[in-house]
Structure 1
């Protein structure tokens, strides 16, 4: 596909260059209702985009304005466990960049590893660990998007992290902080894997986000990450995990999530 051509067509439909990108994870997809002048495009209508197969992921590319900011939202994402290579998982990030996006808010559902985490907590992602075994930058590097060896020492932008904490404090929304680890999925983690992740410094675990954040850093987009803790990660003692539990936790936290994102977006500068 001609990525720039695809981005140009989408920009033409939006009527201007985009500035903000938001990826809505499992159970959080209804946030798109906060937008105005909304244009909804199914992934299947965008060249090079596969269709989403995961419950809770509508598979829609949504454009419009969010508090006056030209915005692109992904209502659902692509996953490695669906059979997509990491380069396809990261493709929408490069389309966003080609449309003009400067800041990206990534969200996801995750399992809480840290003992003090509970279902329904929101966690600000401070850093990440890639246990998926994939990287979207493997292969020839296109210098138009970024350097061969991009720096990842500040994968999540320090200014945006500080802003999110200030907004949460002002609104009285409890906000955890931690390190997000990605496993490939689609099976949930075993108790032994959770003990390993905890020992290696992970606070939460999920099956997405990391390839997108790598691609965003590669092409110069500032990233803010927010996880919704949907369950306590497996310890071998509780009930078996299931995806419906993930979606239900997302629905429970929707009001706080919307309030937090609204507060953050209103204070963004470009």
Structure 2
């Protein structure tokens, strides 16, 4: 049997150096956060979840090894503080690096490994996603219970290459990637916060695609047939590395647009006969995703997401 090759030179040491660099900027009560919260597109308002003091903000550009966020809606900063009455130490990653920005998977997930060496045991990951499930509406929240790693199935996986056992095992299982206890806490918290909710909390399956293009109609239908409820361009690499490191995971998608599942109009279709060019463009653009809508839906859901995260962490760390 072939021996596992040596781990990538210096990866653990680089992550460790970054963790130590950050600790030097933090007061003692913030140096070992228990929870990391990744804020997806339009969800940077989750930074308002933490208590006003103590609070430390560090731009990604000042963190060794971190990629600078280039996507609108991703501020690109770390925020350290405490949350709730019991003042649980947390760190927020306001914005993330994406594979489609040209970063290697090791770079996309570098921050997750830093979280591990800082002491994080729980990671809450959020994203904006397209709704594939026909019963979902824009503004609904989907708590993930599984995923389809489409990019990983064709070789784009953050664990490809030599394994470093200081982070985790060569072949980590993902059958329980989305922590059941955390999901049960979430349902209880949601019911307590929203006896008559204005938006719906679902559980569903996330399909990870590389991006940056939004999916075609045929791709949306394929993903739905494969069992996906939502589709997006992030989150799964972070979750794979978090689970490899032994961090438990809770993940949410905010539905910011509904994917178009209907067939496209054929060029010989009678439905377009007699329509002006403007009318034709309006007809074909129905359901078309755009990033501005993503950000607006995120702003609208921010308060509900903030209250939910606070309630979950109160339940989790109050015992």
TM-score (normalised: structure 1)? 0.97
**Hey, what's the Cα distance between the residues in 2 that align with 1:234 and 1:42?**
37
Cα distance, 1:12–1:69 mapped onto 2, change above 3 Å:
farther
2:58 pairs with one of 28, 37, 41: 41
Higher Cα Rg, which structure: 2
Q: CA deviation at 1:224?
A: 0.2
More strand by share: 1
**Hey, what's the Cα distance between the residues in 1 that align with 2:49 and 2:183?**
22
Moved more, 127-136 or 88-97: 127-136
Q: CA deviation at 1:13?
A: 2.4
SS in 2 for 1:119: coil
Q: Does 1:219 align with 2:245?
A: yes
The answer (yes or no) to whether the contact 1:11–1:18 under 8 Å persists in 2 is no
Q: CA deviation at 1:86?
A: 1.0
Q: Does 1:258 align with 2:280?
A: no
Q: CA deviation at 1:8?
A: 1.6
Q: How does 1:52-91 map to 2 (within 5 A)?
A: 52-67=69-84, 68-91=87-110
Q: Does 1:207 align with 2:219?
A: no
1:184 pairs with one of 210, 235, 249: 210
SS in 2 for 1:50: coil
Q: How does 1:79-228 map to 2 (within 5 A)?
A: 79-133=98-152, 134-172=156-194, 173=197, 174-228=200-254
Q: CA deviation at 1:142?
A: 0.5
2:33 pairs with one of 15, 18, 22: 18
TM-score (normalised: structure 2)? 0.82
Q: CA deviation at 1:225?
A: 0.4
Q: Deviations over 1:141-190 (max 9, x none)?
A: 10000000001011111110111111111112431110001110000000
Moved more, 229-238 or 208-217: 229-238
Q: CA deviation at 1:9?
A: 2.2
Runs of at least 4 residues off by over 4 Å? none
**Hey, what's the Cα distance between the residues in 2 that align with 1:70 and 1:254?**
21
Q: CA deviation at 1:49?
A: 0.9
**Hey, what's the Cα distance between the residues in 1 that align with 2:314 and 2:23?**
23
Moved more, 180-189 or 247-256: 247-256
**Hey, what's the Cα distance between the residues in 2 that align with 1:104 and 1:203?**
22
**Hey, what's the Cα distance between the residues in 1 that align with 2:179 and 2:219?**
29
The answer (yes or no) to whether the contact 1:126–1:179 under 8 Å persists in 2 is yes
2:47 pairs with one of 16, 32, 39: 32
The answer (yes or no) to whether the contact 2:49–2:307 under 8 Å persists in 1 is no
Q: CA deviation at 1:239?
A: 3.7
**Hey, what's the Cα distance between the residues in 1 that align with 2:307 and 2:89?**
19
**Hey, what's the Cα distance between the residues in 1 that align with 2:287 and 2:134?**
17
**Hey, what's the Cα distance between the residues in 2 that align with 1:166 and 1:33?**
22
SS in 2 for 1:116: coil
Structure-2 residue corresponding to 1:51:
68
SS in 2 for 1:32: helix
